[in-house]
Structure 1
Amino acid sequence: MMLEQFLWVIFPYMCVVIFIVGHIFRYRTDQFNWTAKSSEFIEKKQLMIGSLLFHLGIIPVIFGHVSGLGIPKTWMHALGVNDHLYHIGAVYIGGIFGAMTFLGMLILTSRRFTIRNVRRLSTASDLIVNVLLLALVCLGMFATLVTNAVQPEFDYRETISIWFRGLFIFRVDPTLMRDVPISFKLHVLMGFAIFAFWPFTRLVHVWSVPLNYVRRSYILYRRHKTN
């Protein structure tokens, strides 16, 4: 019971606190490094392919997680989305975008470890976050494609989703996670671990999307006429 209490109550809240306080601390003390250092000038092709696949895949995956964890099963039924239709979307459509995310992350991680100059430019946190993200995506793909096939009777919306929503209202029931397959448990724990690690890595660049470029005036270049 003590282990359950730590893993499914204390640890998630601890990671969220580190996530929030860590971002505030870093922003106040290290704004000049609030970015992802580019290694494009060292190697461009793998970076472009891997980054494109990862970002095109991860956005639908995040939305899928938000809907699956945040929207109760009964609400889905009320909207006309039955279990069969939801299963198709989660496994097949989610599997496609998950595969894109995995392939992109695999390319980016391989690039960072195998190209010497890229590896030399990387910090320890860069290497760790790449490995953690790759492992997280691997576990997610395994849980979606393998665990769901081996244990089709398991429905995470009746266990993980209810436990997850309980975190927001401070009514967490750790016993809901007791019979969850190990692949899903590891995926959840690693996800929270990345949240704790986030403020101290290049992942902070997610909050620095240059949206101001959309409304900024065009820069005009004029040829200088010489006599």
Structure 2
Amino acid sequence: MIEQFLWVIFPYACIVIFIVGHIFRYRTDQFSWTAKSSEFIEKKQLMLGSMLFHIGIMPVIIGHVVGLGIPASWMTAMGVSEHLYHLGAVYGGGLFGVITLVGMLILTSRRFTIRSVRKLSSASDLVVNTLLLFIVFMGMYATLFTNAVQPEFDYRETISIWFRGLFILQPDASFMRNVPVSFKIHALTGFAIFAFWPFTRLVHVWSVPLNYIGRSYILYRRHKSS
């Protein structure tokens, strides 16, 4: 029963909350859709942490999509051998994971240690920063340490199959039974952040100033001299 809850019910619940929560918030609370900026309070750490986080997170996301979404047999058919894939996952993923982790450390430290930034932050801001930092840390721990200690473990034969099963409505919790604890924690907290997402400032990532696209002019206001 616990196994079914963790690897079937909980992921689906997080996905439903993610979708319904976004719809509800957009319809009822559009004014808080964009994030409150703390740039005017402290800029140096924000710029460095944000730059490192964004440089690292995109390759990390792409790596997760490839590793979880594309079957190993398909990668082999495309000419990507197991050894080559492993090198990319460990060294490439490890590099960008470290960059992401350093960025999150800076951003989280900034939010907790700078009094003026902390005062501007809501409880959800602090929770999200902490949870994101923990997720990235567990991902790095699983990639660099768990894989080194348990080199025989292949997440593409367990986690990936379970993950794809969720999206074709054929979830099989048994694939997660013998997965190392670090990978399990990383997966569960990863789904948890999706459940938190609609109720935090994370929704601002969907805010794109589309009304500025295609605008070919900028208005300047001329001040009359007295």
Measured against the shorter chain, the TM-score band is over 0.9
2:125 is the counterpart of 1:126: yes
Deviation at 1:125, TM superposition (A): 0.1
Count of matched residue positions in the alignment of Structure 1 and Structure 2? 226
Q: 1:95 is matched with which residue? A: 94
TM-score, normalised to structure 2, is 0.96
2:1 is the counterpart of 1:5: no
Deviation at 1:35, TM superposition (A): 1.0
Aligned mates of 1:224, 1:25 — CA distance in 2: 43
Which residue identity is paired with 2:157?
Answer: E
Deviation at 1:225, TM superposition (A): 7.3
Aligned mates of 2:195, 2:14 — CA distance in 1: 5
Matches within 5 A, 1:79-118: 79-118=78-117
Change (3 A) 1:125 1:222: closer
TM-score, normalised to structure 1, is 0.96
Aligned mates of 1:113, 1:41 — CA distance in 2: 17
Aligned mates of 1:210, 1:151 — CA distance in 2: 46
Which residue identity is paired with 1:129?
Answer: V
Aligned mates of 2:209, 2:86 — CA distance in 1: 36
Change (3 A) 1:81 1:121: same
2:160 is the counterpart of 1:161: yes
Paired-residue identity, %: 78
Deviation at 1:98, TM superposition (A): 0.5
Which residue identity is paired with 2:33?
Answer: W
Matches within 5 A, 1:131-142: 131-142=130-141
Q: Does 209-218 or 157-166 show the bigger shift?
A: 209-218
Deviation at 1:221, TM superposition (A): 3.7
Q: What residue ranges of structure 2 are gaps of 5+ in the alignment?
A: none
Aligned mates of 2:224, 2:210 — CA distance in 1: 35
Deviations 1:142-192 (A, max 9, x none): 000001111111110000000000001111110000000000000000000
Which residue identity is paired with 1:55?
Answer: H
What SS class does the counterpart of residue 215 from structure 1 fall into?
coil
Aligned mates of 1:179, 1:28 — CA distance in 2: 42
Deviation at 1:36, TM superposition (A): 1.1
What SS class does the counterpart of residue 135 from structure 1 fall into?
helix
Which residue identity is paired with 1:128?
Answer: V
Deviations 1:10-37 (A, max 9, x none): 0000000000000000000000000111
Deviation at 1:226, TM superposition (A): 5.3
Change (3 A) 1:97 1:212: farther
Aligned mates of 1:222, 1:5 — CA distance in 2: 62
Aligned mates of 2:26, 2:74 — CA distance in 1: 39
Deviations 1:86-124 (A, max 9, x none): 011101011111111100000000000000000000000
State the Cα RMSD in Å.
1.4
Q: 1:22 is matched with which residue? A: 21
Aligned mates of 1:212, 1:47 — CA distance in 2: 27
Runs of at least 4 residues off by over 3 Å: 211-214, 220-227
Q: 1:196 is matched with which residue? A: 195
Q: What residue ranges of structure 1 are gaps of 5+ in the alignment?
A: none
Aligned mates of 1:202, 1:48 — CA distance in 2: 18
2:146 is the counterpart of 1:147: yes
Aligned mates of 2:156, 2:64 — CA distance in 1: 11
